[in-house]
Structures are given as C-alpha cells and as structure tokens.
Structure 1
C-alpha cells in the first residue's frame, strides 16, 4: 500500500510540475487571448459571419440578355452606334458632329448581370428594374448552384424596382425584410451581391445618411446612403442590418471612376415593399396624386412667408381639376404637416403622396397668410404614369420617350442650366422619337411652342397634341425643332 501511495504521490507531483512548466511557457498567449477588447472583437466578427451565413443563401446571381437594334441618322442630332468610336460626344466636342449617310439597322446581343434576393418561398425575387427591365432572357443562379429561367412579374422604372419569379420544386431560402424607417445613421450594414460577376461577395459599412432624394437617378428617390463597398453587379442585392434583415436594395453608386468611392445608394426596403406588393397583386403600380408643383423653402422664402425658420414645402402651382384644387389648397400655401407628421422637404412629400393609395383622405396642415389651416384632401390617381411590366402608357409610349425633371445635379452633369427644360432619360429603339433623331440626354425646351420646365408641364402640353407634336430640342451645342406624327 505504501508503494502504491508513494507512486500516486509522485505521479501527482509530476502532473503539477508539468502544468506549472507549460503555463510558464504559454501564459503570455493566454493573457492576450483573454483580453476583453479582443474577446469583444472576436464576438463582433463572429456575429457578422453568422448574419452573412444566414443571408447569403437567399441572394441570387442574375444574368440577362437583350436584343438591341441600332441605326444611324443624318444631321447634328445623330445617335451613337454601339461601337461607333467617333460619334462619342467627347470627340464631337473637338471635331464637331458627323454628317453621314443613314446606316442600315443592325441587331446585337447585349448581356448584363446583377443581383437579387428571394422574398417569398414561391420564388418571388426582388431586384432593380435597370437589371431586368426589357430583357429577353433572365437566368437566375442560386447560392447552392442551381439555375433557373425567370419571368418578369412587373417592373417600375420610376422607382427602379422590379419583381421576377422562378419556379422551384422545394422551399426556397427567404431573406426577412426589415423596417427602413427605423434605420439610424451610423448603424452597421452589410451589402451582399455579385460585383463584376464575383458571386456571393460581402462588404461591410455603416449607414452614412438617409433621405437622399435629389440624386437624379430615379423619379422617386429616398435613398439610404452607405459606405459599404458597392460596385457594378451589386445592383438589386440586399443591404442588410446586423439582425439579418434587408433594410434596402443596393441600386447605384456615386463615382468619378466607375468604381467604388465610398458612396453607395440603396432603395429603402419600405418603398421597395410597397411597389413589390402592387406588382405581385395587380401587375402594375398605381401612385397617389395631389396635383401641385412644390419647391423647397429656403431662408429668404421663410422670412417672406412669416416663418421663423425654413420648414415645410411651398406650393408654387395648383393644377386645375386636381385633388389639391378640390381640397382647398392654394398657390402660396406652405405645407407643414402630412397626417400629423412634419414635412421635411419636397422629395419626402412627393414620395409619401405617391405611396398613398388613391381614394385615401389625408390631413394637410398649411400656412396661409400667416395663419395655420387644416385641410382634408382626397388623394387621386396620378394620370399618365401607370406602369404595366415596365412600359409607360399614354402619349409618351406612342413617342417612345421617358422624361425626367432637370435637377440641379443633372443640369451640372449634362451642361444645362437649371430650369432650362425637361431631360430625355430614355428613347425606345425603333420609336418615332428615335426616327426623329432624339436620344437620351437631350433637353426638351418647348412643346407645341409652349415653354416647359418640368415633366408635369411637358405632359400637359403633350396631352393637347392631336395629330403631331412640335418639339424644340437642344443637346447643349445645337438647337432645332422636330415634328413627330402621332398617327
């Protein structure tokens, strides 16, 4: 017994001595590992990884193909062939516009790619209109490698939101949708997408700003700005919060080089959800309409209208036979509140009215002649802007034109003066507008000899056209009149 006890005692002593020696060698490493700051960073890194691990399976890679038809024309308003080097505006600035013989039409395949994310187990995918709009072929590749052909459920060019659908046999991974109204500036966000075709790419940043609405990208803007790296191919992918919810859809970047410069824009998920719901349920988007032309209130205007500080938006014009007119709004009113909430700027009010279903009654608090008045207005349906599967109906469809108000940013970008006219944002191939030599980037200054400065004014003048439309156009260098027949 004594021998065994002695043996056990020596064994225990040996073990204790070994632990002491090992701890002497490895104690510095252990101390660093147990540092509270390092533990916190490690937990943060694992938290991001966990969010990404759950979100990535619902993010898809989208490939599109479209047939483009192009041709040349004569005169100073020629438009570029896809590979016509010397028709580029850069060279026209030095050598002047080219006069050449009409070229025969030719077709070529245009391929593109982008991102999207699954929002419903039935196969509905949210993405950008500029990714899938007018595409002849849409292919979707899932995280697990499966590929599907997709069909367009509906698109809305004015908000740049589109919904496509794939038919899959089993349940699909779905990305939860958050509440973008609750997002705070400075919050961590994660962008997931396929930049430059590099699938399943993840970048991390913060919310840099909210409510960006004078960028000049879409008709309806309320962007979330982020410094998470976004590049070509990220379009349509989700911007995710640290709870793994999509709070935005990545759609554009501000860049002088074409690549990431620290400023990216995402459509708030609440706006995207509202558009998506209409596209899925109705196949079209119907927007609310007030019927006013509004402008920002600066310090000088605030003093002129008896305000202590700039707030609300000024009603510069009230359209005849509009909901605003019937509801008692007058030119010179300053709209301070909508349904009890302060109106920050013109863009915010325009977006909120647009997302309000026609027929809804809203309460407007206005300042008129120094006194506050409460008005109740029944929202109408915006005329001439209903979109089905991304095609604008009405006279613009006949002409083959898409128009956009000339914001100060767009005026500077294209070399025009603010208020000079209405910008042509898109020309449909083979349309009367294309045949007349009109191309994207031109400015419409007059319609039927009527001066126009906004899309609303342009639309009012166009609706009065019967058999033909007379347009005065400029491209910044040349000005000319164009007649387009409507028959």
Structure 2
C-alpha cells in the first residue's frame, strides 16, 4: 500500500512533495494528511482559482490518524467546505474524490463507498471508508464528498501493486477528522485515553476461548501495563472485559473506542469475567502516551554518576505493546531506542531494538531499575548485560554484551 509522499524533485538544496487539503474554517485553517507535510521546512498552499501562493504554518499533527492542521493568512474570509456525517454513509453511496493527482489541480473522480470501518490497513486508530473513486498520488489530504457536496472523508491511502490507482482507495472518516481537528486547534495535539491493557483481536475474541472462560462475548486481556490504571484497579491478564460504562464489548474497537474517547481523568466502569464470575471495577482513564511510555518522558539530569545516557544508551521501559510487537509477549525489561555513535554502548555491541533484562545477573524491569544498576557500577568495573534481540533470520536471541565501565 502506498501513501502519497509524492514526486520528489531532487535538487542541490531541496526535495519537494505534493498533496491536497480542505479549507474548513474561513480564517484559513486547512485539514490535510500528516504525511503530506511531515518533515517539511516550508509549506506553500495554492487555493483553487487563486494564483497566489500562501505560506502555511503547522498548527498541529496527529501521526496516529495521519492528519494535520495548517493555517494560512489570506487577508480575507475563505470559502469553506462543509463537513458531513460519515457515520450516515452507506456502502454503495456515490462519492467524489477531489484533489491534485499528478499535479493536475482540482481533479474530480467518481465512485462508490465500497466498505466502511475498514481496519487492518493503517494504524490502530485508522478505520477507513473504502472507495473505488480514483485516488492517485497528489490526492492525499483532499476531500471525499457525498452527493450533497459535504466532506465525508479525507483521502489518505491506496492499495496498489504499482504507484497509482488500482480501484482500492481509503479516506479517513470525517467524524474522526473533526475530533482530531478540534483537539489540534484547542490543544495543539491529540490526547487519547488508556487504561493500560493490551490484547490481540483474533485471539482475544476467539469464541472457544471465551466459552472456556465463561463469557458470552468480550475481550480477553493479554497484558496489563505495570502501574497502569487497570493494574491499580485489579484487572489481570486472563480477565474478559464485557462492558464499558454499560456498553457491550464484542470487538477490539468497542473497547478501544470507548476508552480513547473518554475524557482523560474521568472514571469508566469496567465489567469483566474472572473464573466464570461477573465482576466490576471503576478505572481512571489516563493519557495513552503516559500509560504505555513507561519512563519514556523522564528526563535525566546531568550527573557524574553512571547512567544510560552516559553509556550512550537512549532507552525506555519496555511496554506490553512494544513487547508484543517485538514478539516478546509478557517480557519485561528496558528497550534500547537509540545507541549513540562512538559510545561505550556501541563499542560493546548494543543496537537499537535490544531489550536489556539483566545487568551483572541482576534483573532490570524498568528504566529506573537500569539507571540504579548502572549508578552502582564503579569506573573500570566489568559489566555484563543480558540482552534479548530479534534477529531477522534466527529469531529471538539471548546476547551477552560485556566491557569495562569507562572512566
């Protein structure tokens, strides 16, 4: 599948890309895709029917949904597109895709809504409207409109075996776009709620598993983040969440959407099954990035003592989500996100993606635990790190990296 970071024009000083957008506020606010503007040092906008080029600033971006909000100053009120209700769209409805494919401005193509709520194509929070309206490179960020001229989606991606249209395109629903837009305008970022549980859709909704656990439906919890709201509320792996605030949970989206849309700091009522008994608990919703980042947001203060940063390691507590992604379900440790060139860590063989589980035979489960273990080391002392490493050809390896603590 291709996203449209399109048509690079290599020159001695710059690379350029092309995309589309939608004016959603007369003051000059524009909705587009994050991948259209990501990494840009300068963004220029040309309005349909206007020869002028306006320099835009980025108000905010959301990588999870691939949306961005831009602002231009046109010194006049702009005509705006009306955002429709994407939930009211039906499969088979006629739609139009508008944009600048291959740089051809204001091109309109027609098709139908082929499917709704299409997941498994992008990220966790991307559930698309699928359409067969022709979407090509340059359409990214442009509107998908219904026959009333209302925007029901933001064209985002295509599935193709080449670089162009092959009949399958995807637009992020307008209702999702509106929520993201409002957060970006008000806060400059999107904050999603979480309670700190993880699961895999296919395994966690298996009817045979649910039957054995005594639940008619629900989501089986596979992991609970240490110190998370779910952990504090007493939820455990193996519990089956059946309801959130009285609403049944039959799919992963039922659970994720209820939690992520809940106000951060609010309490939600979770009903669940454990040992074939119905139970319930109140759980506080906290920011997702904080719940699953472990100590990723912690800043190390300059110090003479040994620390991960002094060794050339950038690291964070291994979250259950990352562990699952790395094929290390249930594993605890410290994930190495970056190794500084020329550092002690690079010298002894560390690589990004390594998971540190022991220092000199002592277990380390968190970033703070690693920090304490390194702080106890003396200059010149021998140190051995036990590391888990995913190898593309050989699978999960256990590696021992050793050296003497630098002066």
TM-score normalised by structure 1 residue count: 0.61
1:360 aligned residue (251, 259, 266): 266
Counterparts in 2 of 1:290 and 1:405: CA distance versus 1, 3 Å:
closer
Alpha-carbon separation, structure 1, partners of 2:130 and 2:254:
15
1:118 to 14, 18, 23: 23
Q: 1:341-393 CA distances to partner (integer Å, 9 max, x unpaired)?
A: 33342245324422322112223332333343443322112244899xxxx96
Query: Can you give the 5+ residue segments of structure 2 that lack an aligned partner in the other structure?
Result: 300-312, 332-336, 359-364, 376-384, 403-407
Give SS of 1:267's match: strand
Query: How far did residue 472 of structure 1 move?
Result: 5.6
Equivalent residue number for residue 38 of structure 2: 133
What does the per-residue CA deviation read over 1:151-190, in whole Å, with 9 as the maximum and x for residues that have no partner?
0111111221111100011111111112223332222222
- The residue number in structure 1 matching 2:256 is 350
8 Å contact from structure 1 (residues 65, 136) kept in 2? no
Corresponding residue for residue 20 of structure 1 = none
Partner Cα separation in structure 2 for residue 65 and residue 444 of structure 1:
29
Unaligned regions of 5+ residues in structure 1, if any? Answer: 1-61, 67-81, 84-106, 422-426, 451-459
- Alignment RMSD, CA only? 4.3
CA separation of 1:470 and 1:155: change in aligned 2, threshold 3 A = farther
The yes-or-no answer on 1:306 pairing with 2:211 is no
Report deviation, 1:302. Answer: 2.4
2:210–2:218 CA contact under 8 A, matched in 1: no
Provide closer, same or farther for how the CA distance between residues 119 and 63 of structure 1 changes in structure 2, counting only shifts above 3 A. farther
Of Structure 1 and Structure 2, the greater helix share is in: 1
Deviation at 1:266, TM superposition (A): 1.6
Residue 289 of structure 1: how far off its partner (Å): 1.5
- In the alignment, is the contact (CA less than 8 A) between 1:400 and 1:433 conserved in 2? no
Report the Cα distance in structure 2 between the residues aligned to 1:153 and 1:368, rounded to whole angstroms.
Answer: 46
Supply the distance in 2 between the matched residues of 1:144 and 1:432 (Cα, whole angstroms): 50
Instruction: Return closer, same or farther for 1:324/1:393 CA change in 2, 3 Å cut-off.
Output: closer
Q: For 1:194, which of 92, 96, 100 is the aligned residue? A: 100
**C-alpha separation between the residues in 2 aligned to 1:303 and 1:127?**
45
- The count of aligned residue pairs is 349
Contact 1:63 1:139 in 2 (8 A): no
Which of the pair has more CA radius of gyration?
1
3-state SS of paired residue (2:98):
strand
> Residues 330 and 386 from structure 1, CA distance in 2 versus in 1: closer, same or farther, beyond 3 angstroms?
closer
Label 1:173 to 1:204 Cα distance change in 2 as closer, same or farther (>3 A): same
The structure 1 residue matched to 2:185, chosen from 274, 280, 303, is: 280
Match of 2:136 in 1: 231
For residues 236-275 of structure 1, the aligned pairs below 5 Å read 236-275=141-180
**CA contact 2:214–2:273 (8 Å) conserved in 1:** no
In structure 2, do the counterparts of structure 1 residues 236 and 418 end up closer, same or farther at CA, with 3 Å as the change threshold?
farther
2:323/2:330 contact within 8 Å kept:
no
The answer to whether structure 1 residue 324 and structure 2 residue 240 are counterparts is no
Task: Give the Cα–Cα distance (whole angstroms) in 2 for the partners of residues 140 and 109 of structure 1.
Answer: 17
SS at structure 2 position matched to 1:115: coil
Deviation at 1:317, TM superposition (A): 2.0
With over 3 angstroms needed to count, the CA separation of the structure-2 counterparts of 1:272 and 1:148, relative to structure 1, is same
